[in-house]
Amino acid sequence: MKLLFTGKEFKKKFNSIKNKQKRLEWAEKLSAELDNIYRNYTDEQYTALYKKYKLDSLNDIILRQTYFPTDNPRIQNSAFKFFILYLEEFYLSFVNSRMVDLKLELFYEERKRMVKKGKLNEADKFPLYDYRYESIKSYSDKVFPELSDKIEYYEFVLMQWDFNFKGREVFAEFNYGLSTKDDVEKLKMELKFMKRKYKHTIDKIMLHNIDSETNKRSQKIKLVEKEAPKIDIPKVEKDNKSDTVSKKAKDAIHRKEIKNLSNMDKPRWIASKGKLKVLLEELQLKQYIDDILDDEDWEKKYMSCFVDVNRMSFYNEEPKYINWRTEMSDLGYLINQLNIKGFKPCLNTYRYQTKISNVFLFRGGPLNSSSLTSAVSKAKKSKVYKDILCEIVSKVRQIK
């Protein structure tokens, strides 16, 4: 087989093989050949290899790398020392990591087929992965397309944890590592969110079915309209002494205020529409903002509070105030994470304090823009890591 010695060449060939099993077989052969070259070749063989594949062009790449010191005399005394180290520490590691990823992908696909056919016992269907959160979540996302199956998997893992280690967490940490307890807490939190999301889905389906059934019945039944009898309602004189405004009146004022906001006065979301939808949905599911998911128009009501990169409305609907329910520091932390250095920003920060305070409430009352500025400033300097908010931002970044 023709040998390849750079990541660019490898990726081009690797991605060109459409059949995943054949792709893996090719990569395994290449890895075996490279391993043999690294372990067993003499300088004479390296000279012939350089000549055959014109590897002098690799010298710039090889010499730019930093290598660990080696006490292997064969490598130390070789004229091709840096080429050997390049194979060991960089190229072989790169090839092998792609093989591991592909093997895992093939495993997930095969396990998904087996689950669908119902050919797995409970232990094979629900691997424990030593209670590691990332491994369990990855398996769940790849193998179980249905939310109900994911819930069943998480429940099985946590049931096994309670059976084996509840009250004896120190033994789990001894066997599986110090982070095991934290991973189990993440699993419990994830299960809670999934159950809540599942309930919302079921409720929507039930409401839809009820509406459909009602419409069918109404089409079959002819309704005879009768004019309702007129009732004289005595007028009640307005109490001029009272200067209190009813809740309905206050709500009407709020609706008018947010409805009349110009696009220049709304926060500018400079990422995709899909990212904004996922953000608002996750914030509701995790109870950071008021949950209106039962309202089929929730997306239009909440997303109408923002404008896109061109300052155009996402929906031409009457917006609804977004009520932030937790600490101001959480909102500051979220804004900072959406615009953290090294990642493509999601929210334009020009006058963001005023614009966010125009459409957000804080625990049911007005949001103070100065307090928000302070919260964002503190979040930038703080080293505090907030798991749930970071998970939300991570999901947002994965959306195109």
Q: Over the Cα atoms of the chain, what is R_g? A: 30
The whole-number average pLDDT for the span 253-282 is 82
Both structure tokens of 112: 């998904």
Residue 168, token pair as written in the block: 């004896």
Supply angle C-alpha 316, 318, 320, rounded to 5.
130
Instruction: Specify the long-range contacts of residues 311-317, CB closer than 8 Å, at least 24 apart.
Output: 311/263, 311/264, 311/268, 312/263, 313/263, 314/269, 314/273, 314/276
Tokens for 255, please give them. Answer: 């609706």
Q: Is the pLDDT of residue 244 over 50?
A: no
Predicted pLDDT at 277: 92
Asked whether residue 253 carries a pLDDT value surpassing 90, the answer given is: no
pLDDT at 226: 45
Which pLDDT value is given to residue 173? 75
| Percentage, residues of the chain above pLDDT 90 | 38
Query: Residue 342: phi, psi to the nearest 5?
Result: 95, -10
CA distance 194 to 141: 12
Map tokens 């929906």 to a residue.
315
What pLDDT sits at residue 120?
85
Specify whether the CB–CB gap between 98 and 14 falls below 8 A.
Answer: yes
Per-residue confidence band for 44, with pLDDT thresholds at 50, 70 and 90? very high
* 341 touches 302 (CB < 8 A): no
Say which residue the tokens 């023709």 belong to.
2
Residue ranges covered by each domain of the chain: 7-117, 122-197, 252-398
Given a cut of 60, is residue 246 above it in pLDDT? no
Considering Cα of 29, then 35, then 40, then 44, what sign does the dihedral take? positive
29 closest CA partner among 4, 10, 7, 1: 1
Angle value at C-alpha 328, between 192 and 315, nearest 5 degrees: 75
Express each pLDDT in 205-242 by its tens digit: 666 665 565 555 555 554 444 444 444 444 445 445 44
User: Tell me, what's the pLDDT at 243?
Assistant: 45
What is the CB neighbour count within 10 angstroms for residue 43?
A: 12
Bridge partners of residue 307, in order along the sequence: 268, 313
Q: Which helix (H) or strand (E) holds 366?
A: strand 365-366
Give the Cα separation of 108 and 122 in Å (integer). Answer: 16
Query: CA 241 from chain center: how many Å?
Result: 55
Rounded Cα–Cα distance for residues 267 and 359 (Å): 8
Length of the chain: 400
Q: What is the pLDDT of residue 247?
A: 47
Question: What is the rounded CA–CA span in Å between residue 180 and residue 175?
Answer: 9
The 10 Å Cβ neighbour count of residue 53 is: 14
In the DSSP assignment, the letter for residue 347 is B
Would you give the end-to-end CA distance of the chain in angstroms?
38
Instruction: For residue 261, give both structure tokens.
Output: 């906001």
User: Model pTM?
Assistant: 0.52
Choice between 152 and 230, residue whose per-residue pLDDT is larger: 152
Asked whether residue 176 carries a pLDDT value surpassing 60, the answer given is yes
Is 244 or 363 the better-scoring residue by pLDDT?
Answer: 363
Residue pair 3/55 in contact by the 8 Å Cβ criterion: no
Query: What pLDDT sits at residue 205?
Result: 65
How high is the pLDDT of residue 241?
Answer: 45
Q: Model confidence at 26, in pLDDT bands (50, 70, 90)? A: very high
pLDDT at 251: 47
Count Cβ atoms within 10 A of the Cβ of residue 389 and give its class: 0-12 exposed, 13-18 middle, 19 or more buried.
Answer: buried
What DSSP character marks residue 289?
B
Say what the pLDDT of residue 242 is.
44
Q: Which residues contact 300 (CB under 8 A, 6 or more apart)?
A: 315, 317
**Per-residue pLDDT tens for 62-115?**
888 778 888 888 888 899 999 999 998 899 999 999 999 999 999 999 999 998
Q: Which H helix or E strand runs over 365?
A: strand 365-366
Compute the distance between CA of residue 320 and CA of residue 301 in angstroms, rounded to an integer.
5
H helices then E strands: how many in the chain? Answer: 19, 3
Closest to 306 in 3D by CA, of 289, 290, 320, 291: 320
Mean pLDDT computed over every residue of the chain: 83
